Amino acid sequence: MEEKPSGLLVLYASQTGNAMDAAERVGREAERGGCPSVTVLSMDRFDASRLPDEKTVIFVVSTTGQGDAPDSMKAFWRFLLQRNLNNRWLEDLHYAVFGLGDSGYQKYNFSAKKLDKRLSDLGAKSIIKKGLGDDQHHSGYEGAFDPWLSSLWNMLNHMNPTILPRVSDISNSHMKTLDHSKFQVIYHNADEVEVHVSTISDLKSTEKMIESTRSMSPALCFCDDNKPHHFLRMITNQHLTKVDYGRDVRHFEFEALSPGMDYQVGDVVEILPSQDPIAVDAFIQHCNLDQDCYITVQPRDNEKQSIDSHVKSLMHPVKLKDFVALTMDVASASPRRYFFEVMSFYATAEHEKERLQYFASPEGRDDLYQYNQKERRTVLEVLEDFPSVQMPFEWLVQMVPPLKTRAFSISSSPSAHPNQVHLTVSIVSWITPFKRKRHGLCSSWLAGLDPFESKGVYIPAWIRRGALPPPPPSLPLILIGPGTGCAPFRAFVEERALQNVTVSTSPVVFFFGCRNQENDFLYKNFWLSHAQDYGVLSKEKGGGFFVAFSRDQPQKVYVQHKMKEERKRIWSLLSAGAAIYIAGSSIKMPADVTSTLEEIVSEASGISKESAARWLRQLEKAGRFYIEAWS
């Protein structure tokens, strides 16, 4: 009897949307190749206990932070780690894993590597070697994804010709067709929806409008919490670096507009930035949309099961302009590759159609990366570059990158500043290869707010647990935070200074680094005040404050050099049970600092550096070694 062609399940775990985008491409190509049944799901929408019932599963997973799994993968991963699952549990499953990561981080693609090993341990059979996408590659993760996906289809065909898809169909550009968008936009007459829309200009109605609008967004509707926890008002906007210095770092202070803001040191605040209204208007006008009409966005029939009842209950009509402004990042994020493929179907000028098709092809991948990601072309700029394209709003809703919240480490103690939150923010700007100046959306928007003139600007904010748990007063601390990495440690020191008034506290050593003593010595007076007169960072208390000015002498000096100078102090604290906290840029600093710690432990204890690395890993497992890094 001829074997029935197998269906394909694609499971993804995404934090920023890239893994979801890659997984959906796997699904599209499988359907194009004639696969009779293709299902693409986020891992948190799949019952892991059903995995043995599947024959072929493709996993696409990203790695966040310091080797962390995305939120949508955590429950799935916990299930796979159950001890009652034996090495034959998945013996009938064929699988492939592709990971998205950044080799600038120490635990590069850790989630994909762990998942691949665990599936193998449970008896599943790997179709091909795991693929590892790297953000550092000149074409981004697609530099590895394109050849990996091609190999996957070839291997599936080779294993069993009845297992679709057919590679010849996937690679045939003439067979490319455009299906319906996954979501539909329903337009409402303003008169019909007035009863549903609050005209009261207060925080409650604004909160409901934000929650309803973002819960309708295809990319944001799966978020657990679209309702802001708080609305903040800026009360301080202060330069921490010299005004004429090349880098701009600010100290921001906000107060909650209603009492009861609750957080702990080490937490982060996520802020929803405002987009430039001129850019929003330009996008709406370019797309020939009516900004004043009311809309609801709903999944098409085959997608309805993926939206839970709670989200559906929030889908009240909203103004189109509000939907664009609050959910669609039209003027700072770059569109993904599939955006260009969809555009090609709507281009009426032949030369534009050909260029878009080339950009969407494997041959045009590198040129697209240079045009799009390297230049950080925005959706609005791309649409303006291809004026003959008029994409339906349904496709724009699905394809435009979502307007994401931006996360910042909190640099204040809630005990010292009740109902306030302080942030230490680098105002992001850079020059593209074509010499165009670009600005970070959120940081530039915050920098442009004047506390005295923006009292009506209410900033939506969410408090989240950070990667640095609050230490008890009795725990000795070794803190390493160059640049804006000092932010959470300002909160730690503030908190411990208050604790020191009522209880006995353990020593704190802090290593800070910046370029110049005169230009970017962030919070100089704050640190120095706590480093004297029996303060938290004073040597009299067994602590210390050590600064590396990397550019104030011919030879560059970084925090790891200062750590080597204080190796005896560090080892003494570690021997007394100290915890290590590291915060700052992910590019090289965490790896360099960790390597220095390994040297110090190796030298002081007389063991090899490899053994010292294992010792530090044990420290991490014991909850005494934490890293919070960002790119």
Sign, CA dihedral 591-595-597-598, equals positive
Choose the weakest-confidence range: 87-101, 186-200, 281-295, 608-622.
186-200
pLDDT 10s digits, 311-362: 565 668 999 999 999 999 999 999 988 999 999 999 999 999 999 999 998 8
CB 551 within 8 A of CB 515: yes
Last residue of a domain, one of 175, 197, 212: 175
The answer to whether 630 is annotated as binding is yes
pLDDT at 307: 53
pLDDT tens for 261-297 read 999 999 999 999 999 999 999 999 999 999 999 999 9
Q: Is 49 annotated among the ligand-binding residues?
A: no
- Bridging pattern class, strands 230-239 and 249-256: antiparallel
Pairing of strands 94-101, 125-126: parallel
Q: Which residue has the tokens 């804006």?
A: 484
Mean pLDDT estimate for the chain:
90
What is the token pair recorded at 377? Answer: 């072309």
Reported as a pLDDT band with limits 50, 70 and 90, residue 167 is low
What angle in degrees, to the nearest 10, is found between the helix axes of 18-32 and 337-346?
50
The answer to whether 223 is annotated as binding is no
Residue 440 annotated as binding?
A: yes
pLDDT confidence of residue 85? 94
Per-residue pLDDT at 68: 82
> Would the annotation count 550 as a binding residue?
yes
Residues near 139 by Cβ (< 8 Å), separated by ≥ 6?
365, 366, 369
DSSP code string of 488-536: HHHHHHHHHHHHHHHS----EEEEEEES-TTT--TTHHHHHHHTSTT-T
AA identity, residue 148: W
Whether residue 56 is predicted with pLDDT greater than 60 in this model: the reply is yes
pLDDT of residue 304: 45
Domain boundary among 156, 175, 194: 175
Q: Is 214 annotated as a binding residue?
A: no
Is 224 marked as a binding-site residue? Answer: no
Is residue 278 a part of any domain in this protein? no
Measured CA to CA in angstroms, residue 392 lies from 146, 256, 294, 316, 363 at distances of 28, 40, 16, 22, 27
Residue 273 within any structural domain of the chain: no
Is 47 among the annotated ligand-binding positions? no
Q: How many domains does the chain have?
A: 2
Q: What is the pLDDT of residue 143?
A: 87
Residue 285 lies in a domain: no
Q: Which domain holds residue 532?
A: 477-630
- Strand stretches in 218-300, DSSP E: 230-239, 249-256, 268-271, 294-299
* Range in 87-101, 103-117, 172-186, 514-528 with the lowest mean pLDDT: 172-186
415 is in an annotated binding site: no
In this structure, the number of other CB atoms found within 10 A of the CB of residue 282 comes to 16
- Nearest partner of 583 among 517, 493, 500, judged by Cα: 493
Average pLDDT over residues 111-139: 93
Residue 88, marked binder: no
18 marked as part of a ligand binding site: yes
The domain boundary residue, chosen from 175, 193, 215: 175
Q: Identify whether 284 is part of a domain.
A: no
Residue 140 lies in a domain: yes
558 is in an annotated binding site: yes
pLDDT digits (tens, 9 = 90+) for 381-422: 999 999 999 999 999 999 999 999 999 999 999 999 999 999
Answer yes or no: is 26 a known binding residue.
no
Q: Measuring CA to CA, which residue among 271, 240, 249, 233 is closest to residue 420?
A: 233
Residue 559, annotated ligand binder? yes
Per-residue model confidence (pLDDT) at position 170: 64
| Alpha-carbon gap, residue 299 to 312, rounded angstroms | 10
Residue 15 marked ligand-binding:
yes
Q: Is 397 annotated as a binding residue?
A: no
* Nearest alpha-carbon partner for 66 in 580, 616, 591: 591
pLDDT at 35: 80
SS (H, E, C) 577-622: CCEEEEEEECCCHHHHHHHHHHHHHHHHHCCCHHHHHHHHHHHHHC
Residue 367 has pLDDT above 90, yes or no: yes
Indicate whether 197 pLDDT > 50: no
Give yes or no for residue 89 having a pLDDT over 60: yes
* DSSP helix, strand, coil percent of the chain (3-state; round to 5): 40, 20, 40
Query: pLDDT at position 166, please?
Result: 65
Mean pLDDT calculated for residue range 60-80: 89
CA dihedral 18, 21, 26, 29 (to 10 degrees): -140
Ligand-binding site membership of 557 (annotated): yes
In a domain, 414, yes or no: no
Assess if residue 52 is contained within a domain.
Answer: yes
Question: What sign does the dihedral 440-442-447-450 (CA atoms) show?
Answer: positive
Confidence class for position 174, pLDDT limits 50, 70, 90: low
Percentage of the residues of the chain whose pLDDT score is greater than 70: 92
Q: Distance (Å, rounded) from C-alpha 57 to C-alpha 606?
A: 48
Decide if pLDDT at 2 tops 60. no
Q: Is 448 annotated as a binding residue?
A: no
Q: What is the pLDDT of residues 551-583, one digit of tens each?
A: 999 999 999 999 999 999 999 999 999 999 999
Is residue 320 a known part of a binding site?
Answer: no
Q: Where are the beta strands (DSSP E) in 440-499?
A: 459-464, 477-480
Single pTM value for the model = 0.89
Residue 135 assigned ligand-binding role: yes
**Segment 116-119 long-range contacts (CB within 8 Å, at least 24 positions apart):** 118/80, 118/81, 119/59, 119/80, 119/90, 119/93, 119/95
pLDDT at site 312:
60
4 confidence band (pLDDT: 50, 70, 90): very low
pLDDT at 168: 59
What pLDDT score does 5 carry?
46
551 assigned binding-site residue = yes
Task: Pick the closest to residue 39 from 19, 17, 54 (CA basis).
Answer: 54
- What pLDDT, on the 0 to 100 scale, is given for residue 313? 55
Kindly report which listed range (41-45, 103-107, 182-186, 573-577) carries the lowest average pLDDT score: 103-107
Q: Give me the pLDDT at residue 305, please.
A: 46
625, 541, 609, 511: which is closest to 577 by C-alpha? 625
45 belongs to an annotated ligand binding site: no
Min mean pLDDT across 221-230, 242-251, 333-342, 386-395 is at 221-230
Residue 406 annotated in ligand binding: yes
- Look up the CATH number of the domain holding residue 134: 3.40.50.360
* Confidence at residue 218, expressed as pLDDT on a 0 to 100 scale: 86
The predicted-structure confidence for 464-513, as pLDDT tens digits, reads as follows 999 999 999 999 999 999 999 999 999 999 999 999 999 999 999 999 99
From 181-195, 274-288, 372-386, the region with the lowest mean pLDDT: 181-195
Q: Is 63 annotated as a binding residue?
A: yes
The answer as to whether 453 is a domain residue is no
Tokens of 479: 């803190």
- Tell me: is residue 408 an annotated ligand-binding position: yes
User: Residue 338, annotated ligand binder?
Assistant: no
